[in-house]
Amino acid sequence: MIKRLYPFASLLSAAWLVIILALAAYDFQALFMQKRVQFDLMALLPESKTAAMKEVGQLMEEANFLGRIVIFVGHPQATTSQLAFEQLRQQVKQVSLPLQEQTSAFIAQGYKDFFTKLHPYRAGFLAENDRNQLLKGKGEGLSQSALAEIMAPFSVLGPVQIKSDPFFLYPRFITSLDSSTPLQRDEKGEAFIKFDGKTWYLFKAHLTEPIFSLKAQEELSEKLTPLLDHLQQTQGVEILKTGAIFYAAAGSKQANVEMTQIGLTSVIAIIMLLLITFKTVRPLFLAIVVMSSGFMGGMAACFFVFGSVHMLALVFGSSLVGVTVDYALHYFCASYKQTNTVSPNRFMVLESLMPALPLGVFSSVVGFILLIVVPFPGVHQMAIFAASGLICAFLSVCVWGPYFANPAEKKAPWLAQQMQMYLEKAVACAQQKNFRLVFSIGVIILFCAGATVLTFEDDIRRFQSLDTLLKSEEERIRSMTKFEISTNFLTITGSTLEEVLQSEEKIKPELDKLQANHDIAGYHSLATLIPSKKQQQENRQLVEENLYQKHWASFVQTLGFEGLLNPSALGLTAPYLTTFDTLPEGWKELIYYAENGKVVGRILLQGITNVPALEALVSKYETVDYINSSGEYSALFTSYRQIMMGLLGVVFCGILLVLAVFKGIKTAGSIVFPVGLSLLATVGIIGLSGIPFTLFHAMGLLLILCIGIDYALFLYGRNSSIRGTQERDFSLLANGLAAVTTILSFGLLSFSKTAAIHSFGLTVFIGILLCFCGTAAFFGKKR
């Protein structure tokens, strides 16, 4: 079959080059011009499983949690911290950072405008304490308190408004909303806190660019950080800062350092290994060409089938396609077998790789195609990317490989021969009687021992390698402000705003009980700010019956205002507030209108210590759901880990089935057996090492399976003309070099400080080493 294609080799090579260049142009346009790359984690999930995740994502977007920046400037002398704060504000403006300051005065004005709009409806708004007093019939206390406030030289509740609100009910309602914050205001209206013997001025801002914008991260690192350092050195102040952008910048910095250290080390080591072993750059160039064509083909397939590609699918699919470097290594090692060829033919190298090369590709492709049955869009993209990439890489080896090999170079370099010789000696040691049986039993015992103590970790917080200095600053800010950004919340769904507010009011007493029992630290509800129409009616009735009817006469008599006050100006007959067009800062994210026309309210929860008690509360209400953001993401990772482990079994069985069709079930079982043992041994070692098993370990196992099958096939399927002869072939060397390059490419990631990358790299390091040793022990000796 291959010989018939010899006359068309040049035409096929040229045609394939045109196709690859067309795919490259298509990828470039889709990737860089049309930007058809997805970053949303929810896009990887089936639609039915993303409701809670959508709630989390929508809250994060509406509240702009990720874009917030908080900086505190502190000093024992208030004037010094105030001066440094003003200097910080001016310098931030001068250096043109992608920040928009949220001044205290601006926020305060927003609240003032909002409460001014609410003033006509004031009779329906009561502070919780005032409402409780009236419910108990203790209106006299409110009357006496109002008299004391009016007669005081300086009122803490603001200007006296005897005609419209003589009992100060509305001002007390407003102040009750802000009772928990330790923030104070100076004469300019700027916010500050006195804590730990220092006065801390607050600088708040939000990003004007996406948090993952490299440009924004670089500008903050290059401009804001030196600015803050300069303030500390010149003014002697202490700076505390927090914000997701700071963590993202620190993570990017760490990634760049690791990329430089690990990535550069890996690339240099692989290049040196290939150059020293083969004494030519041709294997290196072929490897680059093969991997590049596989990457372009896989990405183009995703763009064509799905219209876009997710970044996670791009990364993981690329890593799977990256194993095709092994094809180039095997091709060059096979080129040294033609010592009996009278007239060297560059195309005969490909024949010597038959049927191992196409069978390895076909079995892996079938395994990946089987992943289509899994109802996860993200897995579908990974499957199409990997399958298409492997096919393109295989075709590149077939049509371009002959032009990189030198048919006249029959003798392998001296170092390659020495490496092959030592590998053959090592394999000979594994041919002792009963070695394979003992090895297999040992692996099974190792797996069983590890599996009994194996634990699983899906908590997303464990995968985050947060900067310790930034984390300590965030903890100090949290202790100082008694506030934390809450992404755990309740959702209340209703047909109307009134229905949602009434539901929140029913839940509030139970939340108060949880807070009193320290099951939660606090909560933030829209019903605290905007009572339902029903409660506004009740409030007015309480005020009218238990305050005005009982105490109004004595109140005005004490003040000497009989006949001067008009009850109609008290707002008791005004319309009820049933709708609003805007909310002040910190409240906007508590309500939204869903696409289905439903109204959804949110109650943000803080300091949750008793989740079962909270879940028991939620179970009483059909329209209430508890959304735990970290729990939702952890559940996502749990499902993905389970799916990935299932995929591992599916791919393994798929490969076994393909091999059984071509080789028979007995031979197929023999080929996959050492690879399966390697996977079991890897899991056993992870378990016995006390390392919790994660999604990223599972991803590493899938990569090991795809690579290990190639190791087994290339050793088992060596050309029949070599079996039983004294002629040396270099399949062992090719597998050894492939294992080393894989360990250098992926195994070195085990030195990463990022938990997810470390887990993936460690698994690949252990598994590939075991896979090479296992396949060499079983198939390394020529038969």
Q: Are 377 and 42 in contact (CB under 8 A)?
A: no
Q: How far is CA 69 from CA 28, 109, 176, 237, 240, in A?
A: 35, 20, 27, 19, 11
What average pLDDT does the segment 63-80 reach?
87
Residue 19, both tokens: 């196709």
Q: How many CB atoms lie within 10 A of CB 766?
A: 23
Among candidate residues 677, 672, 675, 689, the one with its CA nearest the CA of residue 762: 689
Q: Are 639 and 379 in contact (CB under 8 A)?
A: no
Residue 129, both tokens: 């304490």
What average pLDDT does the segment 26-47 reach?
74
Task: Domains for the chain: give ranges and CATH numbers.
Answer: 1-35+279-411 (1.20.1640.10), 414-453+664-783 (1.20.1640.10)
pLDDT for the residue 341: 46
Residue 559 has pLDDT above 70, yes or no: yes
Q: Are 53 and 45 in contact (CB under 8 A)?
A: yes
Of residues 360 and 763, more confidence is placed in: 763
Rounded distance between C-alpha atoms, residue 737 and residue 745, angstroms: 12
pLDDT for the residue 656: 92
What average pLDDT does the segment 48-68 reach?
71
Residue 156 has pLDDT above 50, yes or no: no
Rounded distance between C-alpha atoms, residue 545 and residue 537, angstroms: 12
To the nearest whole number, what is the mean pLDDT of the chain?
83
571 DSSP 8-state letter: S
Q: How far is CA 160 from CA 151, 251, 331, 572, in A?
A: 10, 54, 91, 19
Residue 782 has pLDDT above 80, yes or no: no
What average pLDDT does the segment 138-144 reach?
86
* Burial class of residue 162 in the structure, from the number of CB atoms within 10 Å of its CB (0-12 exposed, 13-18 middle, 19+ buried): middle
pLDDT for the residue 346: 62
pLDDT for the residue 243: 87
Q: Are 708 and 678 in contact (CB under 8 A)?
A: yes
Q: How far is CA 704 from CA 80, 356, 365, in A?
A: 60, 18, 15
Rounded distance between C-alpha atoms, residue 565 and residue 469, angstroms: 61
Which range is most confident: 60-64, 87-91, 165-169, 370-374? 87-91
Among candidate residues 642, 647, 641, 669, the one with its CA nearest the CA of residue 657: 669
Rounded distance between C-alpha atoms, residue 674 and residue 680, angstroms: 10
Among candidate residues 569, 783, 583, 763, the one with its CA nearest the CA of residue 682: 763
Residue 128 has pLDDT above 60, yes or no: yes
Q: Which amino acid is located at 318 in the chain?
A: S
Half-sphere exposure of residue 105: CA atoms within 13 angstroms, side-chain side: 5
Among candidate residues 466, 467, 375, 452, the one with its CA nearest the CA of residue 693: 452
Q: How far is CA 27 from CA 274, 299, 564, in A?
A: 30, 7, 80
**Least confident piece of the model among 32-36, 57-61, 95-99, 493-497:** 57-61
**Least confident piece of the model among 230-234, 570-574, 760-764:** 570-574
- Considering the entire predicted model, what is its pTM? 0.77
Rounded distance between C-alpha atoms, residue 265 and residue 259, angstroms: 9
Among candidate residues 718, 749, 748, the one with its CA nearest the CA of residue 733: 718
What average pLDDT does the segment 464-485 reach?
80
What average pLDDT does the segment 342-369 reach?
75
Beta strands in 213-288 (DSSP E): 238-242
What average pLDDT does the segment 541-553 reach?
87
pLDDT for the residue 43: 64
Rounded distance between C-alpha atoms, residue 668 and residue 653, angstroms: 11
What is the DSSP code string of 708-763?
Answer: HHHHHHHHHT--TTTTTSS----HHHHHHHHHHHHHHHTGGGGG-SSHHHHHHHHH
Among candidate residues 120, 129, 195, the one with its CA nearest the CA of residue 164: 120
Q: Are 693 and 456 in contact (CB under 8 A)?
A: yes
Q: How many CB atoms lie within 10 A of CB 651?
A: 23
What average pLDDT does the segment 399-414 reach?
75
pLDDT for the residue 157: 46
Rounded distance between C-alpha atoms, residue 496 and residue 578, angstroms: 10
